[in-house]
Amino acid sequence: MERITMSIDESLAREFDALVARRGYSGRSEAMRDLLRREVEANREGDDKKGSCVANLSYVYDHHQRRLSERLTEAQHAEHDLVIATTHVHLDHANCLESVILKGPTARVRAFAEAIQSERGVRHGHLSIVAVDTGDQHAGLKFRPHHGHMHLIPRS
């Protein structure tokens, strides 16, 4: 592990310490590693046009919006190779929350998410992406014979 030393003003340090405590980190170092990983990943996502990812798309929508539930389901079926699973939660008499787990080419995942989020009646959408490499984690290890599938290895 490499050590990095940095200086910040006292008020920012106090705010950061409050954040560390509020989020339950064991200390500043773990919180900084988490923040750095998040920023590095966000930067990588912007640069990686041809890579693969796993992702979670969450959104709230008004199920009384004309044919919206049907259009959302049709969109998921049209991209069935990207969609791994969908969880649907009724929040109240009008609003539903869906969380869609996705995997595939990052550009296609983003396009799917943008299409869903732009539907009239969909609000509070958020896409969380984790870049992955595909490969064979079993190579060189003492595991049973490979089953012909690829592993999605999160980039660190």
Q: Does the residue 146 lie in any domain?
A: no
> Does residue 1 sit within a domain?
no
Q: Are residues 60 and 43 in the same domain?
A: no
pLDDT of residue 137: 58
Residue 152 lies in a domain: no
Same domain, 37 and 106: no
In a domain, 153, yes or no: no
Domain co-membership, 59 together with 124: yes
Domain match, 77 and 37 both: no
In a domain, residue 15? The reply is yes
Which domain range does residue 26 map to?
A: 10-47
- Mean residue pLDDT across the chain: 86
Percent of residues, the chain, with pLDDT higher than 70: 83
- Cα Rg of the chain, angstroms: 20
Q: Tell me, what CATH number does 61's domain have?
A: 3.30.70.1150
In DSSP notation, 52-86 reads: EEEEEEEEEEETTSTTHHHHHHHHHHHTTTTEEEE
**pLDDT for position 43:** 65
Per-residue pLDDT at 99: 98
Residue-wise pLDDT for 32-91, tens only, equals: 888 887 777 666 655 556 789 999 999 999 999 999 999 999 999 999 999 999 999 999
Residue 138's pLDDT is 57
Angle, CA of 36, 129 and 140, to the nearest 5° = 85
- Rounded to two decimals, what is the model's pTM? 0.69
| One domain, residues 68 and 42 | no
57 and 42 in a single domain? The answer is no
Choice between 4 and 143, residue whose per-residue pLDDT is larger: 4
For 24-30, what is the mean pLDDT?
89
Name the one residue in this structure whose structure tokens are 């405590």.
21
Residues 63 and 15 occupy one common structural domain: no
Please state the domain count of the chain.
2
- Please tell me whether residues 15 and 40 are part of one structural domain: yes
Phi, psi angles (nearest 5°) of residue 58? -120, 140
Same domain, 56 and 121: yes
